[in-house]
Amino acid sequence: MVREQIHALSLKGLHDLSDLRFLLSLEDPDEIRYLAELASNVKNEHLSNKVHLRGLIEFSNLCSKDCLYCGIRKSNKKPLRFQLRQQEIIDAATFAFNNRYGSIVLQSGERSDREFTGFVCDVVRNIKSVTDGKLGITLSCGEQTRETYRNFFKAGAHRYLLRIETSDRELYSKLHPNNAHHSFETRLRCLEWLKETGYQVGTGVMVGLPFQTIDHLAADLLFIKSLDADMVGLGPYIEHSQTPLFKQREFLWPEQFRLSMTLKMIAILRIMMKDINIASATALQAIDGFGREKALKFGANIIMPSLTPKEHRKEYLLYEDKPCLDEDREECRACLEMRVKMVGDEIEYNSWGDSPHYTYRNL
CA distance 29 to 31: 5
- Comparing CB distances to ligand SAH, the nearer of 206 and 300 is 206
SS3 85: coil
Query: x-or-dash pattern for ligand SAH, window 91-110, by CB under 6 A?
Result: ----------------x-xx
Comparison of 143 and 275: residue with beta carbon closer to ligand SAH: 143
- Residue of 23, 32, 93, 238 that binds ligand SAH (CB under 6 A): 238
Taking CB under 6 A as the criterion, the residue among 195, 240, 264, 329 binding ligand SAH is 240
Q: What DSSP string runs through 190-246?
A: HHHHHHHHT-EEEE-BEES-TT--HHHHHHHHHHHHHHT-SEEEEEE----TTSGGG
- Contact call for residues 54 and 300 (beta carbons, < 8 A): no
The DSSP secondary-structure symbol of 80 reads P
Restricting to residues 136-165, which ones interact with ligand SAH according to CB under 6 A?
140, 142, 162-163, 165
Shortest distance, CB of residue 335 to ligand SAH, whole angstroms?
22
**Total length of the chain:** 363
Q: Is 318 in the site for ligand SAH (CB under 6 A)?
A: yes
Q: Is 288 in the site for ligand SAH (CB under 6 A)?
A: no
For residue 140, the surrounding DSSP H or E stretch is strand 136-140
Structure-derived torsion over alpha carbons of residues 291, 162, 129, 358, reported in degrees to the nearest 10: 90
Closer residue to ligand SAH (CB): 121 or 318: 318
Binding positions for ligand SAH, 53-92, rule CB under 6 A: 69-70
319 sits near ligand SAH (criterion: CB under 6 A) = yes
What is the footprint of ligand SAH within residues 161-200 (CB under 6 A)? Answer: 162-163, 165
Tell me how far, at minimum, the Cβ of 164 lies from ligand SAH, in Å: 9
CB of 347 to ligand SAH, least distance (A): 24
Distances from the Cα of 150 to the Cαs of 126, 130, 147, 303, 354, in angstroms? 17, 22, 5, 27, 20
Binding site for ligand SAH (CB under 6 A): 69-70, 107, 109-110, 140, 142, 162-163, 165, 206, 235, 237-238, 240, 283, 318-319
